[in-house]
Amino acid sequence: MSLPAQATLAESFQSHLKGRRLHSAVFTTFEFDPTFFEQEIIPSLLDIAFSHATSMRLVQLEDHLKNVPGGIAVFYDAQHVSPSDSGSSRLDIRRVPVRHTKGVFHPKIALLLVEDLEPDEGGHHARTLLVACLSANITRAGWWSNLEAGHIEEIREGDKTSLKVDLLPFIAILLDAVRDRNLPQPELEGIKKFLGRTEKRTHRSVEGRLLPQFYGGHSSVVDFLADRAGEALNGCYLEVISPYFDKAPTCKVLQALVDRFAPREVRVFLPRNDSGENLCRDDFHASVSEIANVYWSVLPADALSMGGGERTKKRFVHAKVYRFFSRNPSREIVFVGSANLTTPAHERGNIECGLLIEVEAPKRPDFWLTRDSAARNAFAQSIEDGLEADLDAYCPLDVRFDWRSRKGELYWDSRLPSPPLKLQANGVLLGEMPSLPSKQWVALGEAISLALKECLERSSLLEVARPDKPVAHVLVQEEGMWGKPSLLKSLSTADILKYWSLLTAEQRAAFIAERSAEIKSLGLGNDLVIPLAKIIDRDTVFDRFAGIFHAFGCLERDVAKSLREGQEKIADYRIFGVRYDSLGSLLARIEAEAGEADRDAERYVMLLCAKQMCRELKHEFRDYWASRSKEAAQLESQIDRLDSLRQRVIEAGSADDTEFPAFLTWFDQWFLKRARGPATVAP
């Protein structure tokens, strides 16, 4: 017996990402732990050495994610966000709750659009879509401790692919799930556009080998398997690994598999808890045993061990695998994904996903599972209570907050108006709302929006209280994240200019490490960091005019390059954002440091550089600047407030020189007028 290759999910993704960079990503999950996703999963998708200290790693991620042009989004079942989350969302990730009234939103898929680091002969960075179907939720247990299953397929730019025929309808399901709420989904639309440029394979196999097939829930699982693999599955051996079953006396979906494919023998994994109790009903267990050629079975102990020793805690088996194999000829076809051996999963009650693939079979394939030979065990209730909708806990409320406008909105996603609602955070009342209309966005008042803003700087989870209902947890959808304050808040003007001048991610990471003292108390792991002494050299280029010009030149080139490539998000962060490295933050530091008269001349030159840069960007990118008219007006107002610097420079410089004001007028005029290169004349 040989089990399939085992690796962590992070290792699997990293092997496919080698030599590539992330352009955009869409994840779907049933259970969602947003803090774990930010702090542990996102770093595994980016090829950069991150700090082990939580807050420092988040600062590095803040910097890096603005360079992921297509963005990252997570679709999750609205009732299953982790209430243990106590932190504030820090990263620019779109979090999209989904409500599925016929069952639960249960697919676990990752769609990663990546591009080659090295360009081809034409200078093009070829793109690839990674399609990963998993059993794992986006939780600590799913990625770190459970025994899970998954498979990753690649679709290269311009490929002919058998996956397109079902992936596009699945994407349509996701878009339809949020269409009524008017939630734009640029990440999903970008992947849809990529798939639109690929060619569709309509045949199911090549030279007798099954091509990968995607299951998106448009038919029952049994019908899908029969349609895509046909005769290849009939009369095979079959083993089923599923942690959860129907809470019923019989297993109808297993019987349907047996009736359709007439397998020679079927082995069904029997889940047990740490006490050895079977995690299914007694009568269900008996009914499965009575089906001809069907046997309850177990995985080998070493596959479940989390370490050496008999007393080591065993992994919980959360994998969902349907494995068909034959010995003459040797052939192995596997269906892996999110579908448990339950009626809602198989009969289009839930939204599920999976991949049907043919793998390289050994000369004589054998079962992974061994028939259960233990004496009759006690029975315990399955722990998968969350897969049954709790109508009392169901709360169809969306909350979103825009960091650009500092305004919040509510949306009651139901056919009937809402009851009166109380919005709370850690038991503290933020505000009360009367009945909300059905399926309309309603703006929060200024006072509640302000309270929500202050709450979001500590935690992104809200508690919603309703009459005669349990308190529900709702994850706030935060937009315009470039307007949310960073963990790293108080860099000096010299620090910000130096940061703009850094060229590589490694240099920026080292720079953040030098400032570790400021963020030391803001997350786990920081007490393990040895703060690096900040090297101060007052004659360095970054403290004088050459450093100022160089830093602004770097910033302007980066922003202009981003806008020419259509990556407006990067420009938003760098120009209008409130992060530690934005232009607005530099202007705020100039204002805060204005009392130090010995540096006023340098600050005035910084102000002139800011004016010049904004003028040039406004001239070259008129449409972009016009589309950010409100933010641009706020930035220009911030610059205008600093014009008092000019008078202080005059007062400091004209005490012994009466011609200094006239010189400064001349200097301003020529400084702000950008020098142009000579015109090129065609021969």
User: Is pLDDT at 682 greater than 70 in this prediction?
Assistant: no
Q: Does 571 share its domain with 629?
A: yes
Q: Does 74 share its domain with 100?
A: yes
Question: According to the model, what pLDDT value does residue 534 have?
Answer: 42
pLDDT bin (cut points 50, 70, 90) of residue 27 is: very high
Q: Does 190 share its domain with 228?
A: no
Task: Flag whether 656 is in a domain.
Answer: yes
Most confident of the following: 267-281, 482-496, 529-543? 267-281
Question: Are β-strands 205-206 and 209-210 bridged in parallel, bridged antiparallel, or unpaired?
Answer: antiparallel
Mean pLDDT to the nearest integer, 346-375? 91
**Single-letter amino acid code for the residue at 666:** W
Q: Does 154 share its domain with 83?
A: yes
Mean pLDDT to the nearest integer, 383-406? 75
Question: According to the model, what pLDDT value does residue 342 have?
Answer: 96
Is there a contact between 361 and 332 (Cβ–Cβ < 8 Å)?
yes
Residue 446's domain spans which residues? 405-478
Task: Flag whether 486 is in a domain.
Answer: no
Task: Please give the DSSP secondary-structure letter assigned to residue 112.
Answer: E
Give the sheet arrangement for strand 428-433, strand by strand. 428-433, 421-425, 461-465, 472-475
pLDDT above 70 covers what percent of the chain? 85
| Number of domains observed in the structure of the chain | 4
Q: Does 134 share its domain with 166?
A: yes
Q: Does 514 share its domain with 545?
A: yes
Helices 600-620, 493-501: crossing angle, 10 deg rounding: 40
User: Is pLDDT at 401 greater than 70 in this prediction?
Assistant: yes
Question: According to the model, what pLDDT value does residue 680 have?
Answer: 47
Mean pLDDT of the chain: 85
Of the candidates 181, 202, 223, which is a domain's last residue?
Answer: 202
Task: Flag whether 226 is in a domain.
Answer: yes
For residue 623, report the phi and psi dihedrals to the nearest 5 degrees: -65, -45
Task: Flag whether 485 is in a domain.
Answer: no
| Element holding 202 (H helix, E strand) | none
The model's pTM is 0.86
Beta bridge partners of 273: none
Residues 6+ apart with CB under 8 A from 5: none
Mean pLDDT to the nearest integer, 50-73? 82
Q: Does 168 share its domain with 266?
A: no
Task: Flag whether 4 is in a domain.
Answer: no
Of the candidates 202, 232, 254, which is a domain's last residue?
Answer: 202
Least confident of 76-85, 149-158, 522-531: 522-531
Concatenating the DSSP letter of every residue in 347-387 gives TTSSB--EEEEEEPPPSS---SSEE--SPPPPB---S-GGG
Q: Does 245 share its domain with 349?
A: yes
Question: According to the model, what pLDDT value does residue 530 have?
Answer: 40
Question: According to the model, what pLDDT value does residue 391 have?
Answer: 59
Q: Does 173 share its domain with 259?
A: no
**Single-letter amino acid code for the residue at 40:** E
CATH number of the domain enclosing 236: 3.30.870
Nearest-angstrom CA–CA distance, 637 and 632: 8
Nearest-angstrom CA–CA distance, 49 and 44: 10
Q: Does 74 share its domain with 34?
A: yes
Question: Are β-strands 407-412 and 294-298 bridged in parallel, bridged antiparallel, or unpaired?
Answer: unpaired
Of the candidates 179, 202, 225, which is a domain's last residue?
Answer: 202
If one compares 239 and 208, the residue with the highest pLDDT of the two is: 239
Is there a contact between 349 and 306 (Cβ–Cβ < 8 Å)?
no
Least confident of 241-250, 524-533, 586-595: 524-533
Task: Flag whether 261 is in a domain.
Answer: yes
Nearest-angstrom CA–CA distance, 64 and 74: 18
pLDDT tens track for 492-527: 777 788 878 876 767 776 777 666 555 544 444 444
Question: According to the model, what pLDDT value does residue 535 have?
Answer: 39
Nearest-angstrom CA–CA distance, 228 and 212: 9
If one compares 660 and 461, the residue with the highest pLDDT of the two is: 461
Q: Does 213 share its domain with 354?
A: yes
User: Is pLDDT at 607 greater than 80 in this prediction?
Assistant: yes
Task: Flag whether 677 is in a domain.
Answer: no
Nearest-angstrom CA–CA distance, 133 and 453: 36
Question: According to the model, what pLDDT value does residue 594 have?
Answer: 66
Nearest-angstrom CA–CA distance, 238 and 424: 51
Question: According to the model, what pLDDT value does residue 643 have?
Answer: 75
Question: According to the model, what pLDDT value does residue 603 have?
Answer: 81
First vs last C-alpha separation in the chain: 77
Nearest-angstrom CA–CA distance, 534 and 495: 11
Question: According to the model, what pLDDT value does residue 681 have?
Answer: 46
